[in-house]
Chains A and B, each alone.
Chain A
């Protein structure tokens, strides 16, 4: 009995309604009267006309005339047992759009009609007028009866003899219950239902939201219970309680606080300005690391002290004022704002002459600005994954082609090889998608077998174990380029990592076996299910625990280098260090790999393939950048060590890769793509680990790329002379980290602004708000990833210093 018609892609303004009309009339005919108890029909035409041409148009007249005719025909066919309700779900503004809280948008029609049974039998006026609120429609001369739209729910439920839905906050419409004591009974049922709901909500984890209002709500409820009988004060007490409950909940759940929105954006903007300033400071090509420290630290401390004293003062004033007048922003919120907005200000305002002049914007920074632009158009947000892939390829391809002509021989081959690996990995990653709802029918789901079958495609299942086995070989191959696979690296990569990856994939294969019920064909179903789950959880915990233990062992491990003594032709004794060139990068990479193993475990099989490709892409990219630098160096003849560190153009593609990794592992900027089944990776039932593994699944890909980003600042950097080399690495990795963070905070700033700007937009809750949430969460994932990176870098630096102590 369900017929679906395309609703949002309809050009013709009538098709949708004709479909409904075509199916509704046969149902209403008397001979089909037994086929249904409740018909729900949705006419989309009026809304379409509104969006297309607005209400002041002859198309609207035609549409409303058609609706009038349809309603007349329906009323004609209506039998005595049937109640007719016709309503608008919302209104429209003068342009014909809706979504916000304008008077014209929130005013919708609601009409009840009973053909032969009167809805009201007693004389009107028996209900207190205070229960029948009136409102004057903008521009109208006379006020009209006004209700809350959700009042429909308890009213219709009770008229049909059904219980009132549990979460209802509406109140019965008095006019429709004027039959003997019906209204009193209806009110009492309604009040009890609302009270039950509030009580239940209060015992829930979010119950604290009601704290402030609870005493007053309890009092109103008691008021409604003390008086009985049909007195009007009794009815008023019930009504007062229901409306207080509704208002309380509206305050809690349904009002934007524009002030806080603006303050939030300002804080993000000031943090952005501060980080850009530090980044610029680090870009000055020098080895004057100590000066940077002074230039950065001093304003940082000044800002913090200044802002905290102002914050203290302002919040104290706000606190005193708030006892007299109601402030939309609490003193605590105000204090946090002043502190976090003010702290970066001394840093953001350039005070010294050393400020570098604004460089000509690179291609990548222009792309970033364009990327920010897509948050201002819903169709671009919907297709963001494709935009990202396009940007990523656009960043790389021109540089490669440009450098190809300037290089010869081995360099040329390296350039071609690494860019081919990188671009192939990116392309393959992009082919994995879960498709968001709005992309249909132009998107084909490859993440799952089909849109109805949330299990991996057969191809993925065939490829995953070979991938898990082969990925460590590929990683080691990359380290071999600089012979940096000495020390414990072969053990960590070939044995430990391979074990984790195979187990991580096995976990999901066991999960598939569990879901398929194959085992039950051979052994007792319950026993099979129990034992499978025990095995599954054990596998999960082994990988999770194993990666943590490996991290601890790693921090005390020697570097991936080997020392060999030999004599040169003249008989002089020489020390050769194998793996010297990539001392920093190769050791730090191991650190990344243990986090990678955990994220791998929390990623479903279909996401593991793109994740493997992502790791390959990162490594290929590092080599590609090194090759490009070599080519450039031949051109300019400058020594590499004194360069200013990775440029924004070099960092930006990694940030894009992080975005792509998010999309290709089965995620989209919508809540519905959260992969809830990853909540059971470490335990078969819900546990304290569940939120953690879901977060790891969702943000893990971005986290891993953020953690790898500092590799750009230490890949193939000579560890001598000490301590200058260590200082160079500190500066370059911090610069890379900041550049990476700046990329994400630019996106965050733009998406937050667009969500705030479009808060009245039709698509805000479907497109802009979820995209903002994704931006906010990925920003935090990047922040945390970079903080973890500093911990890893500190260990690397310490080990390098010890290893090369006294060597010149």
Chain B
């Protein structure tokens, strides 16, 4: 019985230690490594490349904030587009019908209408990523203001914190009997020492 309490208690304190490390890691602030801001007018059927990056890693997080007047569709795609810079403008090839043939390339497909939209993505493996804003052919001209950030973090903050928040109470419950027994024993020992 006592050995079981010992094992459970040490398991609990170890779980607390791991959770504290996770919390510490999640509290280390993210470092911004890339930022792109811009304003655009999108005609019906027109699209705009906002972000195109090879090999983003699980340590990185892409965050996009978009303010729209009109109606647009924001795509995050698991692919990189071929592009060339010609006379100061980026020339790239994108066709929305290609996406219908390869729906597995779509990570987000969010419609935004007259408002602000913020979303972030943390990849779970090394992958290529592209963000495209598309104005549907049947829509009117849209005004778009975007702010994109690529940040580096040691760990996925939300996931690490969620695990820690669950693990700490479990660890405390596991460790409490062991701590109480140890404390009582210490108290008894010191009382005996005082008695002698």
Q: Are A and B co-members of a single complex?
A: no
B interface residues, Cβ below 8 angstroms from A: none
A interface residues, Cβ below 8 angstroms from B: none
